[in-house]
Amino acid sequence: MRILVVEDEKKINDVIVKTLKKEKYGVDSCFDGEEALDYIFSVEYDIILLDIMLPKKDGFEVLKSMRKKGIKTPVLFLTARDQIEDRVRGLDLGADDYLVKPFAFEELLARIRVVLRKNSGSGEDSGNVLKIANLTVDCNKHEVFRDDVSIKLSAKEFSILEYMMRNKGRVVSKEKIEEHVWDFDYEGGSNIVEVYIKFLRKKVDNDFSPKLIHTIRRVGYILKVENE
């Protein structure tokens, strides 16, 4: 599960991110509305935690823009604003829940679980069964199939594949893969990403057609159907 945290107060942002990582969620975070939209338009998330009072674009504008683009990712508003009008406006724009600051992190985690349960389902529309060509990845069950053949992956291999599937057709850099999968900054001398991509290719690509994992020299990797 991957969560985007959009909160302009750094201390709160950092604590939320730390709490979520402790619960084994994958997390991205940012501090203003424009940056939030950059993330939302380039990566698929399971849920977005969105503050209302943000620099550049407020939370309402962010939510309106993503829904206008057809992005149905669940949104949980986190805000100090407790007016009924704000709650109604957020829900009318398509928010899934609303949590007023200050809040207990136990309640935040419970609300996240509730929203995820409400939005879970079967099929690709749930955002948890990802497909390209004859490759299927079930993010809920942690299952991978190629030509209906079950493929066993390690936790890190699965995380890399899920990240690439959620960004299929787009080049992802080694830096981004390392940041998303290992949650620490990329070190230029490290070859950990290349090693795991090699493992992944051996299991998912080498014995199947069409080829899906491609190297873009000096840039990173892309998941797409060969020759497309």
Give me the CATH number covering residue 74. Answer: 3.40.50.2300
Assess whether pLDDT exceeds 90 at residue 84. Answer: no
> Which residues constitute the domain of residue 194?
125-223
Q: How would you classify the pairing of strands 129-132 and 135-138? A: antiparallel
Tokens of 50: 């969105």
81-95, 165-179, 200-214: least confidently modelled range: 81-95
pLDDT of residue 125: 40
- Is the same domain home to 55 and 104? yes
What residue type is 224 in one-letter code? K
Pair (109, 144) in one structural domain: no
Beta bridge partners, 79, equal: 100
- Please give the structure tokens belonging to residue 118: 């409400």
Give dist(CA 137, CA 7) in Å, integer. Answer: 31
- Asked if 16 and 83 sit in the same domain, the reply is yes
Q: Residues 115, 150: one domain?
A: no
Q: Residues 190, 207: one domain?
A: yes
The pTM of this model reads: 0.63
Confidence check: pLDDT of 228 > 80: no
User: Could you tell me if residue 165 is inside a domain?
Assistant: yes
- pLDDT (tens digit, 9 = 90+) per residue, 146-156? 998 999 999 88
Q: Are residues 27 and 106 in the same domain?
A: yes
| pLDDT number for residue 6 | 96
Q: Which residue do the tokens 């909160």 mark?
A: 7
Interacting residues of 137 by C-beta distance below 8 A, sequence separation 6+: 129, 130, 131, 143, 144, 158, 161, 162, 165
Boundary residue ending a domain (81, 104, 119) = 119
Q: What is the CATH number of the domain that holds 195?
A: 1.10.10.10
Q: Residue 187: is its pLDDT beyond 70?
A: no
Q: What is the pLDDT of residue 119?
A: 74
Is the same domain home to 8 and 115?
yes
- What pLDDT shows up at residue 189? 58
The verdict on 110 and 10 lying in the same domain is: yes
191 found inside a domain: yes
Q: Is residue 202 part of a domain?
A: yes
- Here the tokens at position 98 are 């609303």
Quick one: pLDDT band at residue 30, thresholds 50, 70, 90?
A: very high
Residue 123: pLDDT over 50: no
Mean pLDDT (the chain) is 86
Tell me if 228 is assigned to some domain.
Answer: no
Please, what is the angle between helix 84-93 and helix 59-68, to 10°? 20
Q: How many domains does the chain have?
A: 2
Q: Is the pLDDT of residue 71 over 60?
A: yes
pLDDT tens-digit readout, 154-175 = 988 998 998 899 888 889 888 8
